[in-house]
Structure 1
Amino acid sequence: TDTMLEARLQTTNRNTQNSRETSLWSSGFGMKLEAVTPFLGKYRPFVGRCCQTCTPKSWESLFHRGIMDLGFHNAILVKEENTRFRGWLVRRLCYFLWSLEQHIPSCPDAPQKIMESTGVQNVIAGRDPGGAGEGQVPELVKKEVQRILGHMQAPPRPFLLRLFSWALLRFLNRVFLSVQLHKGQMKMVHKAAQAGLPLVLLSTHKSLLDGILLPFVLLSQGLGVLRVAWEPRTCSSTLRALLKKLGGLFLPPEANLTLDNSEGVLARAVVRAAMEQLLVSRQPLLIFLEEPPGVQGPRLSALGQTWLGLVVEAVQVGVVPDAMLVPVAITYDLVPDARCDAYHASAPLGLWTGALAVLRILRGSGSSHRACVRVHLAQPFSLQEYTINARSCWGSRQTLEQLLQPIVLGQCTVVPDMEKEQEWTPATGPLLALKEEDQLLVRRLSHHVLNASVMSSAVMSTTIMATLLLFKHQKLLGEFSWLTEETLLRGFDVGFSGQLRCLVQHTLSLLQAHVTLLHVHQGDLLVVPRPGPGLTHLAHLSAELLPAFLSEAVGACAVRGLLAGRVPPEGPWELQGIELLSQNELYHQILLLLHLLPQDLLLLQPCQSSYCYCQEVLDRLIQCGLLVAEETPGSRPACDTGRKRLSAKLLWKPSGDFTDSDSDDFEEAEGRFFRLSQQSRCPDFFLFLCRLLSPLLKAFAQAATFLHQGQLPDTESGYTEQLYQFLQASAQEDGFF
C-alpha cells in the first residue's frame, strides 16, 4: 500500500510539473496547448480556399477566421424543430411540413423576356447575318423559338418541387446515414449571395444522383431553386421532361450545328438569351465540369465548358457586372448507381429504368450498409477579378502537337518548355463562337476550378481501405490510422470520424461485395480483394486518394527512374541510398513525367509554373523524409559564410548597375545533391508512393510495347481499338487492374 501511494504521489507531482510547464509555455503565446491526435477528427484542415494569386480580393473578403470553428450539419436530418409547429402529429409529418415551408420563387414571365431579348429579336427580324429570319415569316420563327425554348427549359412547378423534395428526403434517409455539409462553407456561400451577384456552382460529377442531391441540399439551406445544366445524352425524353419541370436545363441539339446554318444561329441566340435572363434574375446555376460517370474520354467536360463560356460571355458583354463562382464537390463512401458495368454503359437513363434502380437501391440498403456523403462548397471568387488577373499573366503558348512533334521526329532531344500552354482540351463546339483568347480563358478557368474542387474533396473511409488492400495490406488497423494521419497532414480532410475499430468494421461492411473475409487462427481476420470486377471497383475507389499524395508519387517515380539505370530495382535499400541525385537530374525527370501523365490527372493550376511544381515535389520528398540533402566531397559547404565567399557579392555598387545580379548565379542550385534516407520506414513508404502511379505507368509501358507489335490499319479508330484489345489482354494475363 505504501508503494502504491508513493507511486501515485510521484505521478501527481509529475503531472503538476507538466501542467505548470504547459501553462508557462502557453502563457507567452496566449494560447492553450493540447496534445490531440489528428485521427480523432477534433482538428481538421479547413480546405477550399480560393487562389490567392488569381483572386486575392476574394481570398480576403469572403473568408474570416470564425468560419473554421463551425461544425458540420446533416442536411437530411429533419426533425420537429425544423418546422414552425410542435406536437405529436408534427413529429410524424415533419418531412411534409418541412417541404411546404421551403421558399420557391416563381418566374412566370421568363419565356416572354427571352423572346423580347435583343439577340432573339434580331434573328426574328432578319437583321442578324445568316439568321433564321432571312426570307422567313416572323410568326414561324417565333414558333421555332418557342419550340427550342421548350426543349431547353420549363418554368419550375412549385407543387412538383415540394412533392419531389418530400420523396427525396425519405429516399436519402433510407439510403445514406448522413449528408454532411460544413456550416462554415455554407456561410461563405451565403455571404457571396448577399452581394447581389448571380451564383454559378461548378461541380465534379461522381454520380447521376449529383444533379438531384445538390439542388435539394441548397434548397434546404435557403438558396432557392438551383437550375442544373444536364447532359442530354444521359437522359431519355421522358426523364428530360420531368427534370425540366424541376429546374433542369438542356442544350438544344440545333446549337451544335455549323456556324453558317440558320437553325444553329437561332438556337444559339435563344440559349444566350436564356442564360442572360437566368443571370439577371440571380437564380443559382449548377454546371458539371466533369464528364458523366461511365463516359470514356477526357475528364474535363466539353458541355460544361460550353455552359461556362456562356457565363463568361455574359459578364464580358455587361449583362451582369460580375458572377460569383463556387467550386463544388460531392464524395460518397459508395456511389449508389456504380455497378460493375456502369463505367462502360452508354444508354440514356429512362424514367422507368431510374425507378427500378431506386427500388433496387432501397431493397439493398440496410442499417449496416448505409454510406455517408459529404458536400464540399469551396470559397467563392469573382469571375471578373479572375479574368483581369488571368489575362495579365499570360505568356507565349503552343499546342501539344507543336511541343512534341520535334521530339517525335527526332529533331530535338531536350525537354520542351513546360511553360508553353498545352492546349489539348477538346474543343467545345460551335456554340461558343468565341475568340481564341476567350476560349483559352474558359479552358484555364475550367482547369482552375476543377483543381479547387478536387483539392477540397474529403477522403472517405472506403477510399483508404481500398488503397490499403491494393497497395499495402499489412495490419489494417494500424495502417488505416497511419494513412488517415498522413492524409490530414497534407491538408486534405477526411469524411469520417470515430473509434478506429468501429470505422474499419463499418468500412468492411460497405465493401463486403468486393472483398473476401477469411477467419484465421487466434481470431484474426484476413481481408482479400476479390478478383475481376471487385478488383476494378477497388481500383476506382483508391484513385480518389491519389490527389493527396500526387506530388510525392511523382517525385518517388522520378527518383526510381533515375536509380533504375544505376542500381537494379530489386537491389537492397542501403545500396540505393549510396547514389547521389543532383537537383538538375530530378528536375529533368519530373518534367518528363509531367509530359507523360495526363493533364486531367495532374490538374495543375494554370497560374502555377511547372518549375515551381518541380520545386514543390522536391520539397515534399524532403519533408516526408525520403530525401536527405547531401553535399558532394570537395564542394564548399552550404553553411559556409566566409568573408572570401561573400565579399564579391556584398560590395556596394552604383544604383544603376545590374550586371552582377544574384538571380543570374545558379551555381548554388546546381550544386545541390540528395540521397535516399536510411530510416526504417522509408522503403515501405517509397514503394507505396510508386505503387499509387504504377497502374497508369504500367498502361503506358504496355502501350509502348504495342507500338512494336500492332499493325497499322487504315483508320485511327481501328488502331485505337487494337490498342484497347491489347491492353485488355495484357491486364488479364498479368492480373493487373
Structure 2
Amino acid sequence: MVHEKNDGINKDTVLPQIQQNRPALSWEMKIKKKLKTVPQCLGNFRPTVGQCCHQCTPDSLSKKLGQNSSLGFHNLLSVNETHTRYRGWLVRRVCCVLFVSGCKVYESPVSNRLERVCQRNRVKEALTAEYEAPAGGDCRGQLSHLSKFLPLINTCISSGLLRFLSWVMLKMFSSVFGSIQVNLNHLPALHRASQEGSLLVYVHVRQSIVDYALVPLVLFCHNLRVPYTVCPLHINGSFIRSILQKVGVVLLPPSVLTEQDAEMDSLYSPVMTSLVRELLHEGQAISVGVSAASGRGGQWLARIRQLIKEGSVPDVSLVPVGISYDCVPKANTQVGFSSLWQCFWSLLWRRPEGSVRIHLAQPFSLKEMCESGRCRVDEWLPLQDLLLPVILNNRTDSVFGRRKMSWLLPSSPFASELQEPTHPQRDLSIAIILHLIFSATSCTAVMSTSMVSSLLLYRNHKGVSASALCRDVAWLTEELLFRNKDVGFGGSLEEVVHYSLSLLAPHLIIAAAPSRKDPLIVPRPSLAATVHLTIQAQIVTHAFIFEAVGACAVSAMLCEVVGSGVSSRVRSDGVDGDQVNSDMEFDVVLCQSELTERALQLCHLLPPGFVPPCQSSQSFALDAVDSLVRCGILIMEEIPRDVPICDFWKRDGALTWTTTDDPYHSDSDCDMEEQDPRSYKISQPSQCPEMLFFLCSMLAGHLRTLCWTITGLDLLLHTSLPEAEFVAQIRSHLCDTANNQKQHYESCAEEAAHTAVRSLIDLGVLSEELQKGGVFLGVAPLFQLSENRQKVHRFISQYLYN
C-alpha cells in the first residue's frame, strides 16, 4: 500500500466539474443537504496495482523492485500550454494542436511486407492445399489468391494522419468523458523496455469499441510507440477502412462479418500469423482485446506464443491494460460512414458524462512464463470429470484439478497444430489467455458508479436511504482498498455519491417527497436498468470473489441443515423460546473439510477471469473459507481438550527421532500426523447475516442463470439447433422467466446466457456436434432423463440463498 499525502483517495483525480455546476434537481438538493454530516475524507491510501505475477514471472517482477511506484495520474484531456514548448495567449488557444504535433511518432515501413508474408512456409502450404498449386511454384503467381488480405497486410501508420486523428479523438473524447485518467506508475518501465528494444504487446479485456481507440491514444500522448491495433470490426465504407488502416488498425476482411467467419477461411490463420511475425520483426507494438465470455481475441496471443516456440520471434513483453468506465459506452460493431458521421455529430452536442481510468501494468516476459515451467497446466481436467461424479454418484469428495476451458482458444478446421484440441501446447496458450484476463481485470480500478451499483443490487435491492447509502459507500471503499483494489474517483463523500447517482439516475427510482427528509433510492425493475447495473458491479464481484464463494458454501451447508430436519435453533440472550433479535447465534457447527469441499465445487462453475490462474483450486477454496474468518462472518469453534493444542510434548508420537542415514527420512516426518479437524460457527454481530447475504448475492445472478437454463432444456430435449439459435432460444426462456417473476433481470443478459450454455457444454449436459452448417447443440443422451437434469439443478441451486 502506498501512502498518499492528501485529504482524499486520489488527490489528482477529481470529478468532472460540469456535473457539479449544472442545475440540480430536487432530489439532488436533498441528497447534498443530507450529506453535510458525512465525513469529507474517504481515505489516505492508494494500493499499488499492475505488478507482475510473483509465481510465473519473478524475473520480470524483480526489475520493478526498489523503484518508486507512486507517480500519480495524468488527465489525458487536460492539455494546456505547459505541455508545449511555447507560452503566450495564442498558444493557450492552440495548445492541443501544438501538443499533438510535438508527440513522437515511430516510423512504420511497409516495404516488401507482402513478399515477406508470401515467403513464409505456412502461407505457401495453405495456398498449395487450397488451390492445388505446385509446392515449389512461384509465390508471385499466387498473389491473386491473397487479394482480399492485401489491405490487412499493407496496414501502416502514417505520422500526419495519426496526429490529426489523435487531435480529433482528444476533442471528441472531451465531449464524451469528463476526464481520462492514466496511471503513470508503470510508464517508466514501458519507456525503458521500449528503449531496450523489447517487443510490447498490450492486452485488454473487451468492453466497448472505445477501448481500441483509448489504448493507442494513451501511448501516443506519452511518446510511446503506437501499436498496431487488432480490431474485429466489420466496416462497411471503403473510405473509413482506408483511414483506419493508415493508423495501424487491423480490421476484419471486407467479406466477413465476425471473427468466427474469418477463422473459417483456410488462408486467414496462416496469413495473420505471418503478418504478426513480420510486424514483430519490424519492431512494432501490437494491441489485442480479449473477450472473457467467448475467448475471442485469444487466438492472436496463441499466434505470438507459436512464433516464440518456433524461434521466429525471440521474446515479447506482455502488458495487461485495465480500462474502467463510469458508464461503459455503447457502440455498434458494424460501422458505416453515415452512422459514424451521425455518431460524431451527436457527440459534439453531448454533455460529458463519466470518467475513464486506465492502468498500464508492468510488462512481463512471455518466454519466461512459457519456458520456466512455473505456469502448470498438467492438472487441468474437463468440468464433467470434476463435478459429474459428485452430482450423479453422490460422491462426498471432489476430484482435484482445475477446470479445462478449451473454448477460450477457438479452433477452426484450418487452424495450426498448436490449436488442435489434443495438442499439449494448446493448454499452455489457454493458460496465458486466462492469466492476461485475470491480470487486466485485477489492475482495473473500481469506479464510484460500480460501488453504488453493487450496493443497490446486492445489499439494498429493495431500496436504501441516501444517508445509509453514503455509509455503505464509505465502508465498501475501505474494504476495496484493504483488498489492494484501486478506486477511480476522488473528492468528498458528498461529491462521490451525488456524482454516481447523477450518472445512474436513468436506471434508478429516486423518491424525494417534500415530507421525506432522506430520499429513497431503488433500482428500476427493468431489464435494461438491471443489466446496466450488473455490468457496472462486475468489478466489485471480482474483488470479493473469495468471500463470495465462501459465503455461498456456507449458505449451501445451512440450507442442508435446515432441509435435513436437524434442530438448528437460534439462541438469543435474554429471549425465551425461538424468538430472534438483532444479536443472534446460530447453533450450527460447520466442518472445515466439508465447507472447503463446497467452495471447491463451486469455484469450478465460475466464469473465466475470477479464479487466479496460478493458484490451484484447492488453495482457492481454502482461501475462500479463511476470507470469511478475516471479515468476521465465521469464527473458529473452540473444542475443549485435556491437553492444549500447543503442548506438543504431551502428545503421543508428536516428535519421532530417526537416524540421519535413514533414506526415507525428511524434515516433514513430524507432520505426518493428521491435522486436528477444525470447525466454524457463524459469528455473533448483528451485521453478519446482512454481510453474508450481500456476498451470496454477488454470484446469485450467474447461478440462477444456470438453474433457469437447465429448466429451459425441457423445451429443447429432442432438437439440435445451431449454436447461435440455441443460445437465442435459451435467452428467450430466461427473459420470459424474469418477466414472469418481475425480478432477477440480471440473469437474462446476453453474456450470462452465453456463459451458462458454455458451462453446461463443459459439464456434459449439452453436446456439441460439428455439422456442415457449423456447430449444433443439443441435450446429451445422459441428461435426456429428467432425473439427471434435476440432480444438476439441485446441485447448483444449493448455492442460491433464499
Counterpart position of 1:553:
548
1:590 counterpart = 2:599 = yes
- Cα deviation for residue 650 of structure 1 reads 4.8
Query: Following the alignment from structure 1 to structure 2, what is the Cα–Cα distance between the partners of residues 111 and 285?
Result: 19
Structure 2 residue matching 1:77: 3-state secondary structure: coil
Please provide the CA RMSD for this pair. 3.4
Counterpart position of 1:564:
559
Query: Following the alignment from structure 1 to structure 2, what is the Cα–Cα distance between the partners of residues 563 and 713?
Result: 37
Aligned 1:204-243 pairs, distance under 5 A:
204-233=205-234, 238-243=239-244
Counterpart position of 1:434:
418
Asked if 1 retains the 8 angstrom alpha-carbon contact of 2:7 and 2:43, the reply is no
Using the TM superposition, name which of 532-541 and 387-396 deviates more.
387-396
* Unaligned stretches of 5+ residues in structure 1: 1-30, 292-297, 339-344
Query: Following the alignment from structure 1 to structure 2, what is the Cα–Cα distance between the partners of residues 32 and 230?
Result: 39
Using the TM superposition, name which of 314-323 and 222-231 deviates more.
314-323
Asked if 1 retains the 8 angstrom alpha-carbon contact of 2:584 and 2:686, the reply is no
1:523 counterpart = 2:530 = no
Using the TM superposition, name which of 403-412 and 548-557 deviates more.
403-412
Counterpart position of 2:632:
625
- Cα deviation for residue 264 of structure 1 reads 2.8
Asked if 2 retains the 8 angstrom alpha-carbon contact of 1:122 and 1:128, the reply is no
- Cα deviation for residue 530 of structure 1 reads 2.0
Q: Deviations over 1:20-43 (max 9, x none)?
A: xxxxxxxxxxx9999988664532
1:580 counterpart = 2:569 = no
Asked if 2 retains the 8 angstrom alpha-carbon contact of 1:203 and 1:329, the reply is yes
Asked if 1 retains the 8 angstrom alpha-carbon contact of 2:158 and 2:247, the reply is yes
After superposition, the Cα gap between the structure-2 partners of 1:126 and 1:213, relative to the gap in structure 1 and judged at 3 Å, is closer
1:727 counterpart = 2:734 = yes
Query: Following the alignment from structure 1 to structure 2, what is the Cα–Cα distance between the partners of residues 513 and 641?
Result: 63
Structure 2 residue matching 1:448: 3-state secondary structure: helix
Counterpart position of 1:383:
366
Count of equivalent residues:
680
Aligned 1:168-179 pairs, distance under 5 A:
168-179=169-180
Higher helix share: 1
Q: Deviations over 1:563-582 (max 9, x none)?
A: 11214799758776321111
Counterpart position of 2:82:
81
- Cα deviation for residue 501 of structure 1 reads 0.5
- Cα deviation for residue 383 of structure 1 reads 0.8
Counterpart position of 1:493:
486
After superposition, the Cα gap between the structure-2 partners of 1:32 and 1:385, relative to the gap in structure 1 and judged at 3 Å, is closer
After superposition, the Cα gap between the structure-2 partners of 1:612 and 1:201, relative to the gap in structure 1 and judged at 3 Å, is same
* Unaligned stretches of 5+ residues in structure 2: 10-40, 571-579, 746-802
Counterpart position of 1:400:
383
Aligned residue identity for 1:358: F
Using the TM superposition, name which of 445-454 and 656-665 deviates more.
656-665
After superposition, the Cα gap between the structure-2 partners of 1:32 and 1:402, relative to the gap in structure 1 and judged at 3 Å, is closer
Aligned residue identity for 1:531: P
Asked if 1 retains the 8 angstrom alpha-carbon contact of 2:450 and 2:536, the reply is yes
Using the TM superposition, name which of 242-251 and 128-137 deviates more.
128-137
Query: Following the alignment from structure 1 to structure 2, what is the Cα–Cα distance between the partners of residues 376 and 665?
Result: 44
Counterpart position of 1:190:
191
- Cα deviation for residue 357 of structure 1 reads 2.3
Asked if 2 retains the 8 angstrom alpha-carbon contact of 1:41 and 1:497, the reply is no
Q: Deviations over 1:486-536 (max 9, x none)?
A: 111111000001111111111111112212322233532222222212232
Counterpart position of 2:781:
none
Aligned residue identity for 2:610: L
Structure 1 residue matching 2:341: 3-state secondary structure: helix
Counterpart position of 2:94:
93
Query: Following the alignment from structure 2 to structure 1, what is the Cα–Cα distance between the partners of residues 674 and 555?
Result: 25
Query: Following the alignment from structure 2 to structure 1, what is the Cα–Cα distance between the partners of residues 189 and 157?
Result: 27
Query: Following the alignment from structure 2 to structure 1, what is the Cα–Cα distance between the partners of residues 503 and 234?
Result: 31
Counterpart position of 2:30:
none
1:715 counterpart = 2:706 = no
Counterpart position of 2:64:
62
Counterpart position of 1:294:
none
Structure 2 residue matching 1:450: 3-state secondary structure: helix
Aligned residue identity for 2:418: L
Aligned 1:255-294 pairs, distance under 5 A:
264-265=266-267, 267-290=268-291
After superposition, the Cα gap between the structure-2 partners of 1:711 and 1:140, relative to the gap in structure 1 and judged at 3 Å, is closer
Structure 1 residue matching 2:182: 3-state secondary structure: strand
| TM-score, length-scaled by structure 1 | 0.84
Aligned 1:154-173 pairs, distance under 5 A:
154-173=155-174
After superposition, the Cα gap between the structure-2 partners of 1:700 and 1:323, relative to the gap in structure 1 and judged at 3 Å, is same
Asked if 2 retains the 8 angstrom alpha-carbon contact of 1:114 and 1:273, the reply is no
Asked if 2 retains the 8 angstrom alpha-carbon contact of 1:587 and 1:614, the reply is yes
Counterpart position of 1:6:
none
Structure 2 residue matching 1:106: 3-state secondary structure: coil
Counterpart position of 1:450:
437
Counterpart position of 2:748:
none
After superposition, the Cα gap between the structure-2 partners of 1:103 and 1:32, relative to the gap in structure 1 and judged at 3 Å, is closer
Aligned residue identity for 2:697: R
Query: Following the alignment from structure 2 to structure 1, what is the Cα–Cα distance between the partners of residues 662 and 377?
Result: 29
Asked if 1 retains the 8 angstrom alpha-carbon contact of 2:152 and 2:251, the reply is yes
Query: Following the alignment from structure 1 to structure 2, what is the Cα–Cα distance between the partners of residues 503 and 331?
Result: 16
Counterpart position of 1:681:
687
Asked if 1 retains the 8 angstrom alpha-carbon contact of 2:326 and 2:354, the reply is yes
Query: Following the alignment from structure 2 to structure 1, what is the Cα–Cα distance between the partners of residues 735 and 58?
Result: 47
Asked if 2 retains the 8 angstrom alpha-carbon contact of 1:331 and 1:374, the reply is yes
Query: Following the alignment from structure 2 to structure 1, what is the Cα–Cα distance between the partners of residues 388 and 84?
Result: 65
1:481 counterpart = 2:474 = yes
Counterpart position of 2:763:
none
Structure 2 residue matching 1:48: 3-state secondary structure: coil
- Cα deviation for residue 258 of structure 1 reads 11
